[in-house]
Amino acid sequence: MSLEAEKIVLACVLREPDKRFALFSELSEEDFSTISHRKVYSAMRGLSNNNEHIDSISVSAAIGGASNEIIDDIEASTPTSSVFGHYAGIVRSASCSRILSQHLRRITSDLESNPNITDVIEELRNEVSKIAERVYKNKRKSDVFGPGEAYKIAMQTIEERVSNPGFRGLRTGFPTLDEVLLGLRQTTLVGGSTGMGKTAIALNIACNLAIRDGIPTLYINYEMDAQDILFRLCGILSGIKINDLITGNVQKDNIPNLGKNVAKLRDGKLTITGHASKTLDETIDLIYRHHAQDGIKVVFIDYIGLIAPDSLARQEQSEYYTFSRYLKALTDRCEDLGIKLIVLVQLNRGTDDEMPKKSNIAGSYKLMQDADASIAIGYSYKNDQYCLAINKNRHGKYPVNIPIEFDKDTQRAWEVI
């Protein structure tokens, strides 16, 4: 099947040369299993680099030798260009299977000579993570388009939007925020200085997504015990003070209401983790696992500064590079899986009565550059008012300050209308 898929992919490019952009983006020469198919791929890339037309004659001439038989065999496939992505995925998966088999054979051999099982497992985890990244690209459409494809996609998208106008995307539950962002972006930062309430804002958004709207959501927590997170969620859902929940000092009249609201956790789509130490690889493993198990659509990282350092982080010796690498890896994996990513970041304190700014991000300003949107919770002592400050919005206006009410006793937050 994979050999036939290789022929179809190459035949698509011969029939529609614009597909070469997707071919070179999605597959490498090594992804092809036969020498002849690798020669065809290499010839196509060489012709493209030299701005020469790609067709059966030019590719045959570039290969030389027994090229006619190779090209005839490929052209015996009669695909339409629309199937390219599907068969490219098959080629990539087969290539990944070959690579994985090679690694497993080598690691099995290493086990006999290396008594340190921890080193072997860590090496295997790293290799599997790289292969998984390529496998999941099967689910992502090509991000390279030739002129003709770009025109078709643009027109189809515009026509679809005009014929079906309205809001698209996932809603945070803060109306003005949703209006400005037009729904959750691929990667959104939620910032706040220590104790300001960034976790509370994130948990309110998580409740709105997973419990109100039934969107499968994973909240990966690195800081608080799971029980502490649950007390906060119960406070948000019930409106009862968290201290009263912790001490059990709940009025009898409120107990039925408490039970009714806490039951929303059972009926909702929110999965949370405890605060056990988690590296970047372990975090990505969690995302893959719950995507397969629960079909998650949104992931929260609370917060990026507490991801356990891996061996590379210890070499980097700089939060600037480490946090940027973490965010890029998480964004890439989530985008492959069709998951929206919300990452909590620490903000350095500004002056009193100053709204949070881009420059307040602790560790790495590059986080802001890599994200699609960034919001932060701030407080104006002068106006006695909490605010969500949108200080980056790749697809719309900013800065925008949105007044909110924030009840620290219950952790509830809502927009001032």
pLDDT per position in the chain (417 positions), as tens? 688 999 999 999 998 888 888 888 788 898 999 999 999 999 999 998 888 999 999 999 998 866 778 888 888 876 676 788 888 888 988 888 888 888 777 777 766 676 667 666 766 776 776 676 666 654 445 556 677 778 888 888 888 878 877 777 899 999 999 999 988 999 999 999 888 999 999 999 999 999 999 999 999 999 999 999 999 999 999 999 999 999 998 888 888 889 999 999 999 999 999 999 999 988 998 998 899 899 999 999 998 999 998 877 777 777 878 898 899 999 988 988 899 999 999 987 654 555 555 556 655 567 888 899 999 999 888 888 999 999 999 888 888 999 999 999 999 999 987
C-alpha distances out from residue 315 to 61, 307, 312, 320, 321, Å? 49, 16, 5, 13, 10
Q: What is the DSSP string of 327-342?
A: HHHHHHHHHHHT-EEE
Q: What is the crossing angle of helices 35-49 and 2-15, to 10°?
A: 20
Q: Which CATH number fits domain 175-415: 3.40.50.300, 3.50.50.60, 3.40.50.80, 3.90.1300.10?
A: 3.40.50.300
> 45-78 burial, b for 16+ CB within 10 Å, e for fewer?
bebbeeeeebebebbbebbeeebeebbeebeebe
CATH 1.10.860.10 placement within the chain: 2-148
Residue 337's identity, in one-letter code, is L
CATH 3.40.50.300 placement within the chain: 175-415
Q: What is the DSSP string of 359-407?
A: GGBSS-THHHHH-SEEEEEEEETTTTEEEEEEEEETTS---EEEEEEEE
Class level of CATH domain 2-148: mainly alpha
- Would you state the structure tokens that stand for residue 153, as one six-digit string? 């996609």
pTM of the model: 0.69
- The residues that bridge with 344 in the sheet, in sequence order, are 190
**Phi, psi at 15, each rounded to 5°:** -80, -30
